[in-house]
Homo-oligomer: A and B are copies of this chain.
Amino acid sequence: MKRIAESTVRRLSAYLRFLEEFEAQGHQTISSGELAAQGGATSAQVRKDLSFFGSFGKRGLGYSVSALSSSLREILGLGRQWNVVIVGAGKIGAALAQYEGFRARGFNVVGVYDEDPARVGGTLDGVVVRDQRELEADIARLKPHIALIAVPAEAAQALVDRVVRSGIRAILNFAPTPLMVPEKVTLRSVNMALELEILSYALVNADD
């Protein structure tokens, strides 16, 4: 299949979220226009996004809410559980470990790791914080699919290298630093300070 743009995947995920709400409200079908109104997309955008993956609607009628939800879950790989390890049990790592929003969407935190003896042994929402020295052994045993990196920037690359060597193929990084991974590994970064800087730029360039 042709490579799909990230912006498309991002929107598919937004469509799915809205479809689930819409389904809960008891609606059977939805048009591309209704689906678009939600996230600020256009109806043509919705149809184009879906067209990369097939043909899901009925002309004149729209899309079956439940069928399209299923298709999107299938496309996004959400018809299953994903196991996640979190490296770093500090402020942000702890918040992530206790975030129900992940579990609700099929992402299960199966391990949290830290190096600080004061944190190791503690428990976060039922998951015990383990020593980072157990990381390799635990990854080999639990075969998690995704690692979240929530350690200080200086430590991030070393930890990424370790989880990659242990077989992890997908990483979500919260440390504000560029990281290297082999091509076969997907790395995404959330950089909150950067988000604020974009707001700063918008504020100083507001033309009014």
Contacts and interface: CB of A to CB of B under 8 A. Distances in A.
Where chain A touches its partner, the secondary structure class is: helix
Interface in A152-185: 169-172, 176, 178, 184
A154 to B, nearest CB: 11
Interface string A166-208: 0001111000101000001010101011111111111111101
A56 interface: no
A50 interface: no
Instruction: Kindly report how many copies of this chain are found in the complex they form together.
Output: 2
Which of under 10, 10 to 19, 20 to 34, or 35 or more describes the interface residues of A?
35 or more
Contacts of A127: none
Contacts of A82: 196, 200, 203
A146 B196 contact: yes
